[in-house]
Amino acid sequence: MPQRTTIIATTATLLAGQETMELLERLGLTPGTSFQRLSNRRHDVQDIIRVLRHGLSGWSFPDLDWVVEGTRKMIIYCENYSICLRLRIYLAPHRIICIYNSLCLPSYNVTSPRLFIDDPSVQITIATDALVVGIDIPNVEDVIDLDCVKLSEL
């Protein structure tokens, strides 16, 4: 490529050091290439791990009763649509709840996050990982990940 060519690339996983040097070499870039490294660490985020005493295969989720006691806005991520639906039915008598997943109509999935943001009565969104990519909802106070298979994923 000509020297005046500008390349902009982003990654969340490229480590400084050997990995960076290998990438530069493969792309044919000089070691003097400029990098801007920004941390994605959030000091206002706290991981809290709670062990569930009851499984997720039934229609009752007593380990999550605490989510309807307050007024905090939260997203609950579930492994699949089945858990989303059963959890929504369990929590629905207590709160207005939105669902977001790939089985919902696209028009519903567009409306659901908007309701969560704009309507104070919508406290909870229950979603699969379809909502994870590109999410930028400003008023989320808590995130519950029921899809976390092992602690190393945190």
Confidence of residue 20 (pLDDT cuts 50, 70, 90): confident
The residue ranges of every structural domain in the chain are 62-153
pLDDT in tens, 60-87: 999 998 888 888 889 899 989 999 999 9
| Rounded mean pLDDT, 40-56 | 76
Residue % of the chain over a pLDDT of 90: 14
Confidence of residue 108 (pLDDT cuts 50, 70, 90): confident
Alpha-carbon distance of 39 to 121, in angstroms, equals 34
Burial 41-61 (b: 16+ CB within 10 A, else e): eeeeeeeeeeeeeeebeeeeb
149 Cβ contact partners less than 8 Å away, ≥ 6 residues apart: none
Length of the chain: 154
75 Cβ contact partners less than 8 Å away, ≥ 6 residues apart: 116, 124, 125, 126, 127, 131, 137, 140, 142, 143, 144
C-alpha 32: how far from chain center: 35
- Cβ atoms of 91 and 79 within 8 Å: the answer is no
* Predicted model pTM: 0.68
Higher pLDDT, 150 or 130: 130
pLDDT given for residue 70 in this prediction: 80
Higher pLDDT, 65 or 6: 65
pLDDT given for residue 110 in this prediction: 87
pLDDT given for residue 42 in this prediction: 67
| Rounded mean pLDDT, 3-25 | 76
Continuous segment of H or E residues that includes residue 74? strand 74-77
| Rounded mean pLDDT, 90-102 | 85
Residue 151 has pLDDT above 70, yes or no: no
Diameter of the chain by CA atoms?
A: 64
DSSP string, 78-120: -SSHHHHHHHHHHHTTTSEEEEE-TTS-HHHHHHHHHHHHH-T
Fold of 62-153: Rossmann fold (3.40.50)
pLDDT given for residue 149 in this prediction: 61
95 Cβ contact partners less than 8 Å away, ≥ 6 residues apart: 68, 123, 124
